């Protein structure tokens, strides 16, 4: 047993779906207007936008990020789950983005540039207190590098 411990766990915010949800609400309004004018059974058309909103919300809710003492993990999927993970010592650079809507709710995106061949860029989307998470991760990356004796060398 390696003694790996969980340091931080987070999930993306449903605010990332705001544009999609607004578009589906507009579509529901159009369907409702057509149904009210034509008195037809167009109401059944509401099933598609409601399904689309539910699917998107469930996919966002089922995504989870985890920072451990050795790795960064991203779990994605509702019925079938995928796990992407990157060893901390492979993280090379960080990029924080705070789109306006997410800044209003205290969230942002963290992009990790890594030396991992299978996952060269790992996105952590709409996480709370993104800068604090980045700083926490940066400290853990440096600790892990000193534990494993790995150094990041840039050539050229």
Q: How do residues 78-112 score in pLDDT, each as one tens digit?
A: 999 999 999 999 999 999 999 999 999 999 999 99
Rg (C-alpha) for the chain, rounded Å, is 21
Q: Is residue 24 packed enough to be buried (19+ CB in 10 Å), middle (13-18) or exposed (0-12)? A: buried
pLDDT value at residue 1: 47
Average pLDDT over residues 125-132: 97
pLDDT value at residue 70: 95
Q: How do residues 39-50 score in pLDDT, each as one tens digit?
A: 667 767 788 888
pTM: 0.84
Q: Are 45 and 106 in contact (CB under 8 A)?
A: no
Q: Name the DSSP class of 74.
A: E
First-to-last C-alpha distance (Å) of the chain: 39
CA angle, 125 then 128 then 134, to 5°: 75
Residue given tokens 């000193």 in the structure block: 146
Average pLDDT over residues 14-27: 92
Q: Which two tokens stand for residue 79?
A: 């019925």
């Amino acid at each position: 047993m390696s003694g790996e411990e969980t340091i931080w766990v987070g999930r993306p915010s449903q605010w990332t779906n705001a544009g999609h949800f607004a578009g589906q609400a507009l579509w529901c309004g159009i369907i409702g207007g057509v149904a009210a004018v034509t008195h037809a059974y167009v109401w059944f058309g509401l099933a598609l936008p409601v399904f689309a909103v539910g699917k998107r919300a469930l996919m966002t809710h089922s995504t989870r990020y985890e920072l451990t003492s050795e790795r960064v993990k991203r779990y994605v999927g509702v019925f079938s789950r995928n796990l992407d993970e990157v060893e901390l010592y492979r993280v090379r650079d960080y990029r924080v983005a705070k789109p306006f809507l997410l800044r209003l709710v205290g969230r942002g995106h963290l992009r990790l540039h890594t030396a991992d061949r299978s996952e060269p860029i790992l996105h952590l989307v709409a996480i709370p207190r993104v800068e604090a998470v980045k700083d926490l991760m940066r400290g853990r990356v440096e600790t892990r590098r000193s534990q494993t004796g790995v150094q990041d060398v840039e050539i050229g």
